[in-house]
Every structure is written in C-alpha cells, then in structure tokens.
C-alpha cells in the first residue's frame, strides 16, 4: 500500500509539470594554504579572513613560522576580528625577536580556532602585559590537539581569557610564566577536555591556572606547576571583580608546589568549587599548612589594567568557601591534605 501511494504522489507531481531536483550544496570558501614560514602570506590570509568575515587557513605540516617583528603594537600577527580557522599538522608559530610581543590577539566578537598548532615564545611588554601566547579579549578561542608553551606575561603566561570563551580540547599548556596564572588566567568561560596544565609557574598566584570565571576541567592533568605565593596548581580569585565556579571532573591535581599556601589548590573566591571523581595528590606547600587544598576564608582580588593591584581580604561570611568532594580523594599532600581543619568537608587534615 505504501509503494502505491508513493508512485501516485510522483505521478501527480509530474503531471503538474514540476520537476523535483536535489538541493544545491552550500558553497564553502576555499581554504588558503600558506607556504612554510611565509609569515607575510600568513598575515595576509588573516587580514583577508577578517575582511570577508571568515576564512580557513591551512599551514604547512611540521613547519615553523617564525615572527621576527610585530604586526602591530603588542601582537605578532594581525588581530582576529572575524571567524578564523587555522589548521596545521604538528606546525609551530613562534616569536624570535628582541622586541616583546604576544602571538595572537582575539578581539571582542572575533573567533579563532587552532588545530594541531604550537604557539611558543610569545612575551608581552610593559605597556601591554597580559596574555603572553594568546590574548582573548572578549572573543571566542578554541584550541584542538595543540600546545601553548614557553610564553611569558604579567597575567596569563600562556593564555589570558578576558571575559571571553575559551575551549581547550586535548591541548597542553606548559612551561609558561606569569605573575598571575602561569599557564592560563581566565575571568570568562573556560572548558578544558583532556590535555594538561603542566610545568607552568606564577610569581604570585595560580601556577597552572588563575580562575576567576566559570571553568570546567574534564580528564585533565594539572601537574608540576609552581607558584611563588599561593595556589601551585590552581588559585581561585576575582579578576577585575569577575569570578565564577570551578569544577573538576576526572581530573588529577598532582605534584604542584606553592611557596606559601595551597600546593594543589588555593581557594580565594566564594564561588563553589566541585571535584567529581578527581584526585589531589602529592602536592606541597612550603608554608605551614594546606599542601592539598587551602581554604582559609580570605578573598583574593586582582585588578589589572594600567597597573596590577592585588588585595587579600578576610571572608566575613564564615565558614570558609564552599567545596564539594564527590567521589574524590585528597591524599599524600604535605604538610596537610586540607587546611584549615574542617574547611573542606570529607577531607582529613
């Protein structure tokens, strides 16, 4: 019966003189291929993508693109204002110059996606000191199968996500340096799936991550980061009065060191911190307590702009900040797993 109805329908349409044609496929813009280390062509491709509103750029595999001078004050490449996709294959973009500049700068409303690209050796100057590798200033930034390493800045040695959206997929942020947020600093939205924050260092707060936004880490390693003061692995705080919750899913925080307090995690924000199926192990605080998680109940505030200013304020809303340990363990940290005593429910000292 169904076949009869289908044949009748086709016959009726044909009788009306109508011809059924398949829909035409959408015409995609062809990708721009950039020869190995042709920096001028790379800059032109980014500019053209900005002008047209979007563009796909393909880099040469296993090639190093070396930036020897800045494209504009503070940035090695043109600012990202449109939707730009850059795809490599074990490809590197690096700075090699006496003058300091970061590699990428995503403007508000812009979107940058990097795949299989390493961003390294970016360094910010005194007048524009944040986001050593990449500055995402209110835009959208996605890195897939990529690496951000050996960059330096005042805030966000690898990446500074300033009120933007940051997505990291199977990406490693490693061996970056900053005063705050050696690997990543964020007061926007950050999602990290897989990969690692590894071997980063901060002079003051947040060796691996300075979190002041809505951040979720899943299947991520936060390991062997170092802070000169608070939060060897992660510090939560407010940056320019923005803050947000932190959630760790199936994530390991291990082998981090804080010179003062909070070897693994130092809490300095009233937003909830949740660990689900995660571990905080083998972290060290060179202070008197809080090798794993430190939750002393004092707010950490950072104001950045023309000059950095930081404040540590007592928490008037005792007990200390809310923490949930869900099927998670905090163990083998020195000199204590969690401090002060009873500040992290279900965690022993």
pTM score, two decimals? 0.91
Place of tokens 């990446």: 159
Q: What angle do CA 298, 299, 303 make, to 5 degrees?
A: 145
Peptide bond into 319 cis (omega under 30): yes
Cβ atoms of 91 and 120 within 8 Å: the answer is: no
Cβ atoms of 135 and 111 within 8 Å: the answer is: no
Q: How far is CA 321 from CA 94, 274, 348, in A?
A: 41, 11, 17
Strand ranges across the sheet with 177-180: 152-155, 177-180, 201-205, 226-227, 257-258, 284-285
Q: How far apart are CA 74 and CA 11, in angstroms?
A: 67
**288-314 pLDDT, tens digit each:** 789 999 999 999 999 997 667 887 777
Cβ atoms of 209 and 197 within 8 Å: the answer is: yes
Cβ atoms of 218 and 242 within 8 Å: the answer is: no
What sign has the CA pseudo-torsion 31, 37, 152, 253?
positive
What sign has the CA pseudo-torsion 314, 318, 323, 325?
positive
Cβ atoms of 155 and 181 within 8 Å: the answer is: yes
The pLDDT, as a whole number, for residue 317 is 59
**For each of the chain's 349 residues, which pLDDT tens digit applies?**
434 333 333 333 334 344 344 443 444 578 999 999 999 999 999 999 999 999 999 999 999 999 999 999 999 999 999 999 999 999 999 999 999 999 999 999 999 999 999 999 999 988 889 999 999 999 999 999 999 999 999 999 999 999 999 999 999 999 999 999 999 999 999 999 999 999 999 999 999 999 999 999 999 999 999 999 999 999 999 999 999 999 999 999 999 999 999 999 999 999 999 999 999 999 999 987 899 999 999 999 999 976 678 877 776 655 689 999 999 999 999 999 999 988 999 997 6
Domain chopping of the chain, boundaries: 30-339
The pLDDT, as a whole number, for residue 287 is 83
**Residues 6+ positions from 268 with CB-CB distance below 8 Å:** 205, 230, 231, 235, 236, 237, 238, 298, 299, 300, 312, 321
**Residues 6+ positions from 181 with CB-CB distance below 8 Å:** 155, 156, 157, 160, 202, 205, 206, 209, 210
Length of the chain counted residue by residue: 349
Nearest partner of 206 among 244, 247, 229, 234, judged by Cα: 234
**Residues 6+ positions from 74 with CB-CB distance below 8 Å:** 101, 102, 105, 124, 125, 127, 128
Q: In this structure, what token pair is assigned to residue 192?
A: 């990290």
CATH class of the domain comprising 30-339? mainly beta
The pLDDT, as a whole number, for residue 306 is 63
Q: How far apart are CA 121 and CA 229, in angstroms?
A: 24
Q: In this structure, what token pair is assigned to residue 131?
A: 């986001």
**Residues 6+ positions from 92 with CB-CB distance below 8 Å:** 63, 64, 65, 117, 118, 119, 120
> Within 13 Å, how many C-alpha atoms sit on residue 287's CB side?
25
**Residues 6+ positions from 258 with CB-CB distance below 8 Å:** 207, 226, 227, 229, 230, 231, 232, 266, 283, 284, 285, 286, 287, 290, 294
The pLDDT, as a whole number, for residue 319 is 67
The pLDDT, as a whole number, for residue 7 is 37
């Amino acid at each position: 019966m169904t076949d009869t109805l289908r044949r009748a329908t086709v016959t009726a349409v044909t009788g009306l003189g109508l011809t059924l044609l398949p829909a035409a496929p959408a015409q995609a813009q062809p990708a721009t291929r950039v020869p190995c280390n042709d920096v001028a062509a790379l800059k032109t491709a980014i500019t053209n993508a900005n002008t047209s509103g979007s563009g796909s750029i393909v880099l040469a595999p296993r090639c190093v693109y070396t930036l020897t001078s800045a494209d504009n004050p503070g940035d090695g490449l043109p600012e990202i204002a449109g939707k730009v996709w850059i795809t490599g294959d074990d490809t590197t973009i690096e700075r090699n110059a006496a003058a300091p500049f970061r590699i990428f700068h995503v403007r508000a409303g812009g979107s940058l996606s990097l795949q299989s690209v390493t961003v390294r050796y970016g360094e910010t100057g005194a007048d524009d000191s944040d986001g050593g590798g990449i500055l995402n200033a209110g835009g959208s930034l996605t890195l897939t199968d990529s690496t951000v390493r050996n960059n330096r800045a005042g805030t966000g040695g690898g990446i500074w996500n300033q009120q933007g959206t940051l997505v990291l997929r199977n990406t490693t942020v490693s061996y970056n340096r900053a005063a705050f947020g050696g690997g990543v600093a964020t007061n926007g939205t950050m999602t990290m799936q897989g990969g690692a924050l590894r071997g980063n260092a901060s002079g003051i707060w947040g060796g691996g991550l300075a979190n002041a936004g809505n951040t979720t880490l899943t299947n991520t390693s936060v390991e062997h980061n170092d802070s000169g003061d608070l939060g060897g692995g992660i510090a939560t705080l407010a940056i320019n009065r923005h803050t947000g919750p932190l959630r760790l899913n199936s994530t390991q925080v291990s082998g981090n060191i804080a010179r003062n307090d909070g070897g693994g995690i130092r809490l300095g924000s009233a937003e909830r911190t949740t660990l689900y199926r995660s571990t905080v192990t083998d972290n060290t605080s060179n202070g008197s307590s809080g090798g794993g998680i430190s939750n002393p109940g004092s707010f950490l505030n950072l104001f950045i702009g023309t000059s950095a200013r930081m404040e540590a304020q007592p928490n008037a809303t005792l007990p200390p900040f809310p923490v949930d340990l869900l099927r998670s363990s905090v163990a083998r940290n020195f000199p204590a797993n969690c401090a002060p005593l009873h500040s992290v429910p279900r965690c022993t000292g």
